[in-house]
Structure 1
């Protein structure tokens, strides 16, 4: 995938659709947006936009939450 998309080049038409499909598959299998961005040499925002445009249901943010746990 990364070989077909040159960094900074516009991705339109069939190439964009193909890239979106590949990104969707990898994202659905658990790869993070940040990892996909690094793999493709594109920005986080570009990958996020492609996934959003293609109708992908994005996961919530991970990591630690702020504040104390309730119910202690």
Structure 2
């Protein structure tokens, strides 16, 4: 974990808040410098309800 003066609990709280306000995991990676996997793990560990994959243009699988 990168050292930036914040405790893990404080970072997890900030990540959860940002994610729940609509930030993507990739945007959190860019702003914190942590890996995608570590951000995802911290969000899960903090009990954050995860959104489905795909973003605003995701249409899911098409039949046919």
Same fold (TM over 0.5): yes
TM-score range, shorter chain: 0.7 to 0.9
Segments of 5+ residues of structure 2 without an aligned counterpart are: none
**Corresponding residue for residue 44 of structure 1:** 36
In the TM superposition, residue 46 of structure 1 has moved relative to its aligned partner by 0.4
21, 24, 33: which is aligned to 2:13?
21
**CA RMSD for the aligned pairs?**
2.4
Segments of 5+ residues of structure 1 without an aligned counterpart are: 6-13
In the TM superposition, residue 17 of structure 1 has moved relative to its aligned partner by 0.2
In the TM superposition, residue 21 of structure 1 has moved relative to its aligned partner by 0.3
Deviations 1:12-57 (A, max 9, x none): xx70000000001100100001110111011110000000001100
- Which ranges of 4 or more aligned residues in structure 1 deviate by more than 4 Å? none
Aligned length: 60
Structure 1 distance, partners of 2:50, 2:12, is 13
Q: Normalising to structure 1: TM-score of the pair?
A: 0.71
